[in-house]
Structure 1
Amino acid sequence: MIRTVYVYGSPVLRKVAQNITPDYPQLDALIADMFETMEQSDGIGLAAPQIGLSIRLFVVDGTPLADDDPTLKDFRKAFINAQITERFGEKVIYNEGCLSLPGLHEDVERESKVRIRYHDEKFVEHEEVYEGMAARIIQHEYDHLDGILFTDRVSPIRKQLLRSKLNAIAKGKYSASYKCRIG
């Protein structure tokens, strides 16, 4: 089932999400819905707060980028109760977008590597290191769990320049090919 994506101005996007337990209601269906919503919206990541749920869950699928970056060929997974324990490597600037900020793209500087501890959809715990685009996707989605949007990571001058665009999104003045809401 395709879920509605909450956009800038929705309070759920600014909350710190809560951990969940293995008995979270209909977790498998929720994860399947998140993958379907992400794919139908042409996204490569989606965090639960973006569909109105303040829980520590996000899904990623880097396979659409695999032609340019073969390391992403099998990078499709769910991260539950994730904790980034280390960010390291050189800082790299890349132009990011977000389903919760339709039509907005900005250069964001992030570390090139992350170490993350998380549970998969079967609640098996993992600790892994990711680098390159996989690390960027993880950091972007992980930020959503802490109430952070990529626009929070741009320079102060860029933030000022973005203010009117962000206010427009919060007032419903945006165009998206997927189902969105503010609330």
Structure 2
Amino acid sequence: MVLPIYSYGHEILRTVCEPLTPETIPAALISDMWDTLYGAAGCGLAAPQVGESVQLFLVDSKLLYNQMNPESRAVYFEDNIGIKAVFINAVITAYSERRWVSEEACLSIPGLQYGIERPWSITIEYRDEYFQPHKRTFSGITARMILHEFEHTNGVLYLDHLPQRKQKRIAGKLDRISRGRVKADYPMSFTNDSR
């Protein structure tokens, strides 16, 4: 089932989410989040974006890999073909010193896209949808997607990485998004539905 995506301005997007246990893994939510992600033509989605304050997010960087030409793949993916994975109770244990800037966007902030500097690679410990533990290192665009979604579960948005002057310049655009004065090709939940 496709769920509405919460827009910028919703309090839950600034909430540090609660961990899950094997008994509380929301299987239906995970399925609905995949439906929502693909319905919105996205590549990553975190539980708070659909109104659930739990440490859960999805990433599908294989989609982007399949859409890229071979030259771009080499730059963004190095020796891998992307991932499709569920991350529960994730903890990032290492960040590379190498950093890079690339454009990011967010389904909760439609219509905006900015270059953000992030580490090239990360090491992350997490549980999958079966609560099996994993520790893996990811790089390039996959690491970027994971960081973006991981930060959602900690109440951080990618725009928080922009310089203060840039954040001030886009304040009006963000206000319009929070009031529902934006068009998206997917269902959204706005803080003020009196659009």
State the TM-score bracket (shorter-chain normalisation): over 0.9
Indicate the structure with greater strand content.
1
Deviations 1:31-75 (A, max 9, x none): 111111001101000000000000000001112211323656351
What is the DSSP-based 3-state SS (H/G/I as helix, E as strand, rest coil) of the residue aligned with 1:54?
Answer: coil
Alignment of 1:15-164 (within 5 A): 15-24=15-24, 27-67=26-66, 68=68, 69=73, 73-164=81-172
Asked if the contact 2:118–2:144 (Cα under 8 Å) also holds between the matched residues in 1, the reply is: yes
Contact 2:82 2:142 in 1 (8 A): no
| 1:145 partner letter | T
Kindly tell me the number of residue pairs found equivalent between the two proteins.
Answer: 182
**Identical columns (%):** 36
TM-score, normalisation: structure 2: 0.89
Q: Does 2:29 align with 1:14? A: no
8 A contact 1:62–1:72 mirrored in 2: no
Which residue of structure 2 lines up, in the alignment, with residue 4 of structure 1? 4
1:182 aligns to 2:190 (yes or no): yes
> TM-score, with normalisation over the residues of structure 1?
0.95
8 A Cα contact 1:45 1:137, kept in partner:
yes
Distance (Å, rounded) in 1 between the aligned partners of 2:61 and 2:124: 17
Q: Is the 8 A contact 1:48 1:56 kept in 2?
A: yes
Q: Runs of 4+ in structure 1 displaced over 2 angstroms?
A: 67-74
Instruction: Note if 1:171 corresponds to 2:171.
Output: no
Which structure has the greater CA radius of gyration? Answer: 2
The whole-number CA distance in structure 2 between the counterparts of 1:140 and 1:23 is: 27
Asked whether the equivalents of residues 3 and 37 of structure 1 are also in contact (C-alpha less than 8 Å), the reply is: yes
- For structure 2, list consecutive stretches of 5 or more residues without a partner in the other structure: none
Partner amino acid, structure 1, of 2:8? Y
3-state SS of paired residue (1:23): helix
Asked if 2 retains the 8 angstrom alpha-carbon contact of 1:120 and 1:126, the reply is yes
